Amino acid sequence: QVRLQESGPGLVKPSETLSLTCSFSGGSISSYYWTWIRQSPGKGLEWLAYIHVSGVTNYNPSFKSRVTISLDTSGSQFSLKLSSVTDADTAVYYCASIFWSGHPFIESWGQGTRVTVSS
Amino acid sequence: DIQMTQSPSSLPASVGDRVTITCRASEYVSSYLNWYQQKPGKAPKVLIFAASKLLSGVPSRFSGSGSGTDFTLTISSLQPEDFATYYCHQSYSTPYTFGQGTRLEIK
């Protein structure tokens, strides 16, 4: 099973860009879709985006053009950028792997990283 | 977006009880419905995918059923380690969406 670990700043100022990286191991990069999900008390679990090594990406329209996901195929990492953050973006951010065997599900999750938006 | 509504939001129960959690989708999701368990301070963990398929290693006291818009997660005999929050998740269409969670608590 894939192991994942998030890294990045725990504090971001309003209007700035939140940048997180996920390092993964134990699975083939092409066997999964790589995704970001966040969790906050107010909004619960929210799916942000996913990416596949084939180049396929999919974004949650709720975040409009604020979100960018990218995959480093050589370094076993993928990243999230969320621009123009507000306090509503304060949440625990998880990176995860989607296993797509006809019925996709989120097979493995990182431990999560808490990000606070505050000046 | 497809809205996922779970009931109840909280469920007091005792060890040995049989409990059922319901998840209703605002639109048809076929059997693209997954269930996760989350304990405090931890990431969610998948229990059931495709509405009724138990992930390898998950105890057989967990079961899922349903198709279309109405789904259930049943725990046949609650164990102490089952007290947690449970979420349903639709992967039929993007944006993927989750239920608000059902907190299973000790009565």
Can you give the pLDDT at residue B64? 98
Can you give the pLDDT at residue A102? 87
% of chain A with per-residue pLDDT over 70: 100
For B:57-86, CB contacts with A below 8 A are none
Please tell me if residue B6 touches chain A, with a CB cutoff of 8 Å: no
Can you give the pLDDT at residue A73? 79
Q: Give the pLDDT band (50/70/90) at residue B56.
A: very high
Chain A residues within 8 Å of chain B (Cβ atoms): 44-47, 58, 60-62, 94, 96, 98, 102-107, 109-112
% of chain B with per-residue pLDDT over 90: 100
Name every chain B residue with its beta carbon within 8 A of the beta carbon of A62. 1, 95
Task: Please enumerate in sequence order all residues whose Cβ is within 8 A of that of B57, keeping only pairs 6 or more positions apart, or say none.
Answer: none
Structure-token pair, residue A68? 């960018």
Please provide the average confidence, as pLDDT, over all residues in chain A: 95
Report the pLDDT averaged over residues B21-38: 98
Other CB atoms within 10 Å distance of the CB of residue A52: 18
Report the pLDDT averaged over residues A78-105: 96
Q: A74 vs B2, which has greater pLDDT?
A: B2
**Is the confidence at residue A15, as pLDDT, over 80?**
yes
CB-nearest to B50 from A47, A103, A106 is: A103
Name every chain A residue with its beta carbon within 8 A of the beta carbon of B94. 47, 58, 60
Cβ–Cβ gap B98/A45 under 8 Å: yes
* Residues linked to residue A78 through DSSP beta bridges, in sequence order: A22, A71
